[in-house]
Amino acid sequence: MKNTFGNNIAVTLFGESHGTAIGAVLDGMPAGIAVDSGFIARQMSLRKSVGAISTARKEADEVKIVSGVVNGFTTGTPITFIIENQDTRSRDYGELAYKARPGHADFTAEMKYHGFQDFRGGGHFSGRITAGIVAAGAVAISALREKGITVGTHILSCGGVRDRNFNDVQADVDYLDGLEFSVLDKSKEEEMKSAIMKAKTDGDSVGGILETAVCGMPAGYGEPWFDTVEGMLSHALFSIPAVKGVEFGAGFGYADMRGSQANDPFRSSGGKIITETNNCGGILGGITNGMPIIFRCAVKPTPSIYKEQNTVDMRDGSNTTLKIQGRHDPAIIHRARVVADSVTALVMYDFLSAK
């Protein structure tokens, strides 16, 4: 089981949803990078469950840094983040030891680990594991800001309700910083929350689309083939549970354009080369071109729903049904936003370190 991602800056995840603790190890960070515990706590709060639109499971998510940081600065050695699990209720998962939940990794985990996996709350496959990503990502976000690079994500759509796209990208990214429910058009917040609550009332769930922008990344970072900026970001983003699609810039919209519409004309402005449009999403030939990097992630509806569903008893292969119990999110997109920010920052700082 491989749990490490990154080249010069590598992140290793550990733990299970209902185990003693979860966390991450961040390796490769240079010495002398400021680590702000208050900022880490702020980032962790953006991932927490909030009110009726989230799971009733309430975790403190206090991050303990047990290595790699002294007096508020990195030492250059691996940074270990530990987050204790405190609000577990494993009895809700007794039946699921042998009944595969539709939309979950229960069946594939059984095929790979032959019954030795921790099935409680999804174990190591759980979205709970992303807490370690957010802790490590907070350090990368702070390090990028020191270089004038910022990252921001908003909920472009949720439950059929759509926010506006990025416009003045830097101003929009600044506006999103720290928002609990990340939308650019404030009027859409209650509409999205209503759609989430409607699904919850129906015993169901909703998904949506996240849109992310990276501002201030200089031109010339990335590789032309297998370690392209799109490739490495996609690799990391697809590791976020429930992300099932990623597109950059115009994305699939390119399919309906002509070249004359799709190309981004170059111009010189204030001694800097820019493009008049940004259909390419800030990346050409796998390498940053200095324009904002913009991409979108499709997030599927939370697979844990309260409707009866068909499944299979993995002990004997017989057809059966199950009705999931426990505490689950009717939508995870508002909590996944900070996870997208975090993996993006880790990838971009890795590219900076390479060059």
Closest CA to 53 of 159, 183, 177: 159
**Helices in 72-186 by DSSP H: which ranges?**
106-113, 130-145, 169-176
Nearest 5 degrees, angle CA 60-CA 35-CA 9?
100
- State the SS3 of 64-105: EEEECEECCEECCCCEEEEEECCCCCHHHHHHHHCECCCCCC
- Contact at 8 Å (CB) between 187 and 163? no
Residue 222 is given by DSSP the state: B
The per-residue pLDDT for 98 is 84
Cβ pair 291, 275 in contact under 8 A? yes
What is the residue whose two structure tokens read 């799709």?
Answer: 262
Q: Which helix (H) or strand (E) holds 23?
A: strand 21-27
Higher pLDDT, 58 or 63: 63
Which range among 45-59, 104-118, 290-304 has the greatest average pLDDT?
290-304
Into how many domains does the chain fold?
1
For range 112-125, the mean pLDDT: 80
In which domain, by residue range, is 230 found? 4-354
User: Residue 206 and residue 302: Cα distance in Å, rounded?
Assistant: 7
Integer Cα distance of 14 and 303 in angstroms: 23
What are the tokens at 275?
């493009």
pTM over 0.85: yes
pLDDT of residue 123: 75
Q: Is the pLDDT of residue 62 over 90?
A: yes
CA dihedral 156, 175, 241, 37 (to 10 degrees): -170
Instruction: Tell me the per-residue pLDDT of 202-254, one tens digit each, with 9 for 90 and over.
Output: 999 999 999 999 999 999 999 999 999 999 999 999 999 999 999 999 999 99
Range with the lowest mean pLDDT among 109-118, 173-182, 234-243, 260-269? 109-118
Q: Which residue has the higher pLDDT, 126 or 307?
A: 307
Looking at residue 256, which CATH number applies to its domain?
A: 3.60.150.10
* CB neighbourhood size of 242 (10 A): 20
